[in-house]
Structure 1
């Protein structure tokens, strides 16, 4: 997935993302976790994203490869969306924008 910064300010983002699924009523809810992830949690293993910050300059782009193994995306008829947050100055106030990318798995 590639994101482009159309603001006049530097943006910062990390590895974190979330995947949502669209309910039958049309609202967005977090996608269910995968069996693999739930099994790890049951064994006491917490999985987290690296605490890293990537800087995105104005008119610059940021690419990320999403390996959504945390989530169960087996419902082929569902509509999903990737949720990604970008923070921008003034720091430490941490103003932010959130990007949403809809997709389907076929």
Structure 2
């Protein structure tokens, strides 16, 4: 019966081999990371930060345009994905205008 190299090693020898491989891989990762960081620093102009120093522009609050008549606490501004309650009602044949929130002093288009 022919013996395979790893099968003839003891548990302690296998563990020592594992630690040796882990140390070698860790060293290679550190070296590669340093090389990549050096290349990245050459690509970025000096003094330029990765993130801009300025803060984001303040966006105005968006008022809700549509309200669920069955649950008035559920509203939607008309931006982004339609809420489930609205998608279900539209699928059942309702029109989007049926859910508009009427604001006094505003004319409908």
Higher relative contact order (CA 8 A, sep 6+): 1
Q: Which TM-score bucket, shorter chain as reference? A: under 0.3
Higher Cα radius of gyration = 2
Q: TM-score, normalised by structure 2?
A: 0.21
Q: Which has the higher strand share?
A: 1
